Amino acid sequence: MTKGFLLGWLVGTALVAVLFLFFHGPIIQSDVYHNFALDHNIYGIDNAANVLTNVGFLIVGFIGLLKFTQIKSSDERSAPIMLFVLFAGIFLTGMGSAHYHLYPSNQTLFWDRLPMTLVFVSLFSLVGWRYVSRNVFSMVFIISVLLGIFSVLLWQYGGEGFGGGDLRYYVYVQYFPLIAIPIILIFQPWREGKLLWIAFGFYVWAKSFEMGDVWIAAITNIAGHPIKHICASLATVFIYRWTSRVFGATEAGGRAF
């Protein structure tokens, strides 16, 4: 499998995704999006479970920001901005999500979604940079960051009132990397992609718990959304471990957790 052939697969998949969303028509956020199953107040913190379970993102993001700056290999320093954006995005997702769940609204959701787009596009760019083409994915990274920011701005300000805009661009930015990264990993040795496959599995679980928020609460008294945060933060742990191994952070900063 040549890298050119793999790049062709990715371009073809991207075009199919664009055409699908184009013919799908506008995606507007539901009016009940902010209704979560669990809203208990603990020690004065509203929606405490949904707020406090973001701590994992803060920890991984902070450690990642400390580690990536210590990479010594000059060969790997062509990706420092991607690494910075990735771990800054993870850290800011923790802050943005906690703020959103304290005060659920479209205005605060903006600060949850914006850093999430940075995580998606930077991880996709790093994987492509490592396994497909450094030159191509250096450009893909710049374009993807701009598209990610645009997608959230369009949703927030592109319709009637805050958060009334079309979500298709945001859906593309979030879900295309979830399709493209496995396509890249399929053609890599297991040892190269193992940690990312585990991260992918945790994120699939996270999305499943998110969709099952209400019925999980009805059955177990523990809502799905806090579990979603835990699973997603575990995914970032394995993303951190992959970057530590691939980009040499452990050599510079000690053993990865």
Kind and range of the H or E element at 28? none
- Domain assignment present for residue 10? The answer is no
User: Can you tell me whether residue 147 is helix, strand or coil?
Assistant: helix
**Does some domain include residue 49?**
no
In a domain, 203, yes or no: yes
Q: Which residues contact 4 (CB under 8 A, 6 or more apart)?
A: none
Number of domains forming the structure of the chain = 1
- In this structure, what is the dihedral angle of CA atoms 140, 145, 147, 150, given to the nearest 10 degrees? -170
CA distance 112 to 92: 8
Per-residue model confidence (pLDDT) at position 32: 84
Q: What's the pLDDT score for residue 250? A: 41
- Does residue 70 belong to any structural domain of this protein? yes
Predicted confidence at residue 174, as pLDDT, reads: 93
Token representation of residue 163 = 């958060």
Q: Report the pLDDT value the prediction gives residue 218, as an integer from 0 to 100.
A: 78
Domain-located, residue 34: no
40, part of any domain: no
Long-range contacts of 183-191 (CB under 8 A, 24+ apart): 183/6, 183/9, 183/10, 183/13, 184/6, 184/10, 184/127, 184/128, 184/131, 184/132, 185/127, 185/131, 187/1, 187/6, 187/131, 188/131
Q: Which residues of 8-32 are buried (b: 16+ CB within 10 A; e: fewer)?
A: ebbeeeeeebeeebeeeeeeebeee
The residue type at 26: P
| pLDDT < 50: residue spans in the chain | 74, 249-257
The β-bridge partners of 42 are 45
Residues with Cβ < 8 Å from 178, sequence gap 6 or more? Answer: 120, 200, 203
Examine residue 83 and state whether it is found in any structural domain, yes or no: yes
**90 within domain boundaries:** yes
Domain containing 107 equals 61-253
* Digit-coded pLDDT (tens) for 142-187: 999 999 999 999 999 887 566 678 899 999 999 999 999 999 999 9
Q: 222: helix, coil or strand?
A: coil
Q: Which two tokens stand for residue 14?
A: 């991207």
pLDDT at 249 (0 to 100): 45
At residue 181, the pLDDT reads 96
Question: So what's the pLDDT on residue 251?
Answer: 43
